[in-house]
Amino acid sequence: MSLFSSLRREQKEAIGLLQIGTFLEYFDLMLYVHMAVLLNELFFPKTDPTNAQLLSAFAFCSSFAFRPIGAYIFGKIGDTIGRKTTVIITTSIMSISCLIMAALPTYDQIGISAAWIVTICRIAQGLSSMGEVIGAQVYLTEMVKPPLQYPVVGIVSISSAFGPMAALGVATLTTMYMLNWRYAFAFGALIAIVGAVARTKLKESYEFADMQKRMRKAIEDAHEQGVGNAAELLLKTKRSFMGKIPWLTTFAYFATGIGWPACFYFSYMHCGNLLKTKFNFSGEEVIAHNFKISILYTLVCLIIVFLTRTINPLKIVKFRSFIFLLGLLPTVFIGTHPESSLQVTCLQIFCLMFSLITFPADPIIFSHFPIFRRFTCVTMSYALSRSLMYLVTSFGLVYLTEWFGEVGLLMIFLPCAIGSLWGIHHFEKLEKQFEILTNAKEAGDLISLSPAS
């Protein structure tokens, strides 16, 4: 706790509220994902193994395919109304979806309507999760300055890892002791409601509130400069504060984000399917096994957050991506020709430990977007990368590995690794440029300087 002793009370409260909210958001979102081997049988019609795998992929992707819509909606809300409003709305949507799923009759009871309703709930959860984790990360990026900013924002990522781990833990207990799975969804919904109410106490982030105040002052000054050119001055003032969309930087963030969906789906879904089909694991055993893997991954995230105290986060991300690229060939070979369940476990550990993800460099990346464009650019890039790659990976692994074997797996992972390394290189260049610009300024200008300015 001494690490955060220099933070103000409202900053600590914000960290606590956002951390709890993100945990619950991802607990609710991933509870269905990790219990899909059981819940799909309840809400979808029973069919042959291949179609069952495709239905599983459909149920999984339904919460990610519509994320760009959520990104657009919450991006506009976040960049116009504020970050605080966004995280309150997203938590409320998640709680309502969970309540519906907790009370939803099964396929045997109401037929295909059950499949449609659960899919709609999954879509709503995907939309809300889009504004949740990015909203929390952007909020804390604008509330805390570096270098303390890195572990503070990293805590949100730990919460997003701890949520799925807890979901796997609940799924394990439910399947092992034959508990009613509906209680887990009801519990998540109840806590999410409490979290949404608690978040109303949050204040707007410092940077966003300050920029709003400065823009209002500039608009008032422009308005006083004469009637003839008032409209033009107002438009120019708003445009100057909004800033231009940094398209190359947005694409670089997209490139760094395409790898995580492939790593996640391969580690939990594809490897879980290998354990079932090749090594005769039951659905309950797969869930319990993945729970242990998730504990290890959460511990790795904690270690990485600790390392940000002494190591630049971009260097950590670059190192992990480089190691992943080096281990890619044996990964794709073993991933298509596993000889033991131990090999599958090692693959899961490797893909998660050295996963292609921007954590813990997110605050550095966010700082290179204009404040009034930040939420929209980041959420849209995040949503498009996740939606695209979850669709490609979940459906692609069904066919590509069947048609091309290890080459099919390489066709997914190699572009992800190259894209991640290129994106990191782009942000390293931006950091160097900003450092040069900072050093060229006088000491009095350093206070108002920001990478996106």
Tens of pLDDT, residues 170-203: 777 776 777 777 877 787 777 777 777 777 778 8
List, in order of start, the domains of the chain with CATH numbers.
2-445 (1.20.1250.20)
Q: What residues have CB less than 8 Å from 228, skipping those under 6 apart?
A: none
Residue 442 has pLDDT above 70, yes or no: no
Could you report the per-residue pLDDT of 298-349, keeping only the tens digit for each? 899 999 999 998 899 999 999 999 999 999 988 888 888 889 999 999 999 9
Q: Which is nearest to 222 in space by CA: 236, 211, 242?
A: 236
Q: Are 119 and 55 in contact (CB under 8 A)?
A: no
In a 10 Å sphere around its CB, with 0-12 CB exposed, 13-18 middle and 19+ buried, how is residue 445 labelled?
exposed
DSSP state of 340: S
Pick left, alpha or beta for residue 226 (phi over 0 → left; psi -120 to 50 → alpha; otherwise beta): left
| Residue 446 scores a pLDDT above 50 | no
Between 355 and 36, name the one with better pLDDT. Answer: 355
One-letter amino acid for residue 133 of the chain: V
Tell the residue number behind the tokens 């090999």, with chain if given: 343
Which residues have CB under 8 Å from 135's CB, separation 6+? 74, 78, 83, 86, 87, 90, 375
- Spatial distance between the Cα atoms of 80 and 375, rounded to a whole number of angstroms: 10
441: which DSSP letter?
S
pLDDT at 258: 92
CB 263 within 8 A of CB 352: yes
What's this model's pTM, rounded to 2 decimal places? 0.82
Q: Name the least confident of 332-336, 421-425, 440-444.
A: 440-444
Other CB atoms within 10 Å distance of the CB of residue 76:
14
CA dihedral sign of residues 254, 162, 97, 45: positive
* More reliable by pLDDT, 40 or 368: 368
- Name the token pair of 314: 């971009």
Contact 208, 82 (CB under 8 A): yes
How many CA atoms does the CB half-sphere of 76 hold within 13 Å? Answer: 5
CA distance 300 to 161: 10
Confidence of residue 441 (pLDDT cuts 50, 70, 90): low
**Amino acid identity for residue 47 in this structure:** T
Both structure tokens of 84: 């605080």
Give residues with Cβ within 8 angstroms of 242, minimum separation 6: 370, 372, 373
Distance from C-alpha of 266 to C-alpha of 280, rounded to nearest angstrom = 18
pLDDT tens digits along 40-81: 777 777 665 555 556 656 666 666 777 888 888 888 888 888
pLDDT confidence tier of residue 369, bands split at 50, 70 and 90: very high
Q: What does the block give as tokens for 34? A: 């990790």
